[in-house]
Amino acid sequence: MTLRLFSSLGNETREFKPLVPGEARIYVCGVTPYDVTHLGHAFSYVQFDALRRYLHAKGFAVRYVQNVTDIDDDMIMVSKREGGRPIAEIRDENDAIFRNDLDRLNVLRPTVYPRATDHIPQIIESTREIVAQGCGYEVDGDVFFEAGKFPGYGKLNGVTIAELAKRENPESKREWKKRGPLDFLLWQRTEPDEPRWDSPWGPGRPGWSIECTAMSTTHLGPQIDIHGGGRDLIFPHHENEIAQAECMTGLVPFTGYWMHNGMLQLEGVKMSKSLGNLVLARNLMSEVDPDHLRLYLLNHHYRTDADYHTYALPALGGMYERLSTAAQAATGSPPAGSALRRAFEDAMDNDLDTPAALALLDEAAQRVLNGTAADDEAAALRECLAILGFAFAGARGPATGHLEPGP
């Protein structure tokens, strides 16, 4: 049984071969804690939690880094709107709520949970190195990455620079200073009333994508095995991360596998604060058990777009009852190499096909409950459900930040 993962780079499914055998280094883009997080965030982080737990079950030592983007336009905008409220206070308040939601969903805490503002020296050093390598230029206190100087720019999106330039680009600040339309800020000069740090180019603050590059290289080294995030980050954020890291280190590829989760919508409509249609994980967890919500999220393949409806959780009520009741009825330790565990791994090895895995676990639960299961099937079922992170099956709790290889 070999784990195969789909990578957005090349749009292909390949056997998972990490840089160092037995180790998996994962970086997943975190949130910008300027506002509440919603069910879409829970979808993403529960999926990557399942990945992490599954890698661990297959014997990998997993190092999982997830950042906090605590300095950017949105953080500054909220701070100004709230009469100059300190950004650190806004961050801590929203981050505490976010982490509490994920704790309740039994999502393991990251091995490292770095904040951008704690990495300003590394961000400045990364920017300086990119300029030294000939891919960056300064214009009056702003430093840009010159996309046209990086030969592989566009490879994650599978298109040419000319085609990318036609897309809507949130990195469009200070167009008049740029040499090319896809150039993006590594360092930006700031107004005196905004947060700023001293740098070789004058007082300013980081661009967006350079923060993740500096944090991933600091905590995981110049190359990583898996980079995760929402599909909406493929352009420009992740395209920019590749360009920055590979320009800086000269090592290719920066990331072995690019894993992108689909988007979660509400009844066919994108969730957004302005539309007033945000569904919050914590509100749903006041109606159903957190494991029930986890089941809903994992019952979608991570790469699909999920469409939440109010009937979705009740519709899974029967399955949730069967799985939790059968798992809790299990006694004894799981058998080695059971047919159920093999079938479960076959599904999960196929680019983490959690819906297929859950379907066969549900069939096993029905056998356990109607008395037709093999003697040790309940124990095997419980073990597989624990690998998917269900608390009712005895999965490790969220405070476990570092996973050494083991059962």
Which residues bind to Zn ion, rule: CB under 5 A? 29, 212
- Residue 36 burial (C-beta neighbours within 10 Å; 0-12, 13-18, 19+): middle
| DSSP structural state of residue 68 | B
For residue 307, the minimal CB distance to Zn ion (Å) is 25
Question: For residue 158, how many other CB atoms are within 10 A of its CB?
Answer: 12
Tokens for 219? 């905590």
The 184-189 sheet, strands edge to edge: 136-139, 142-145, 184-189, 204-206
Of 209 and 338, nearer to Zn ion (C-beta) is: 209
For residue 383, the minimal CB distance to Zn ion (Å) is 34
Of 90 and 245, nearer to Zn ion (C-beta) is: 245
Of 29 and 352, nearer to Zn ion (C-beta) is: 29
For residue 270, the minimal CB distance to Zn ion (Å) is 20
Of 29 and 364, nearer to Zn ion (C-beta) is: 29
Of 212 and 361, nearer to Zn ion (C-beta) is: 212
DSSP string over 109-158: PPSB--BGGGGHHHHHHHHHHHHHTTSEEEETTEEEE-GGGSTTTTTTTT
Question: For residue 107, how many other CB atoms are within 10 A of its CB?
Answer: 25
For residue 251, the minimal CB distance to Zn ion (Å) is 19
Alpha carbon distance 237, 228 (integer Å): 12
For residue 27, the minimal CB distance to Zn ion (Å) is 8
Of 106 and 216, nearer to Zn ion (C-beta) is: 216
For residue 391, the minimal CB distance to Zn ion (Å) is 29
What are the helix (H) ranges across 133-268?
161-164, 209-220, 239-249
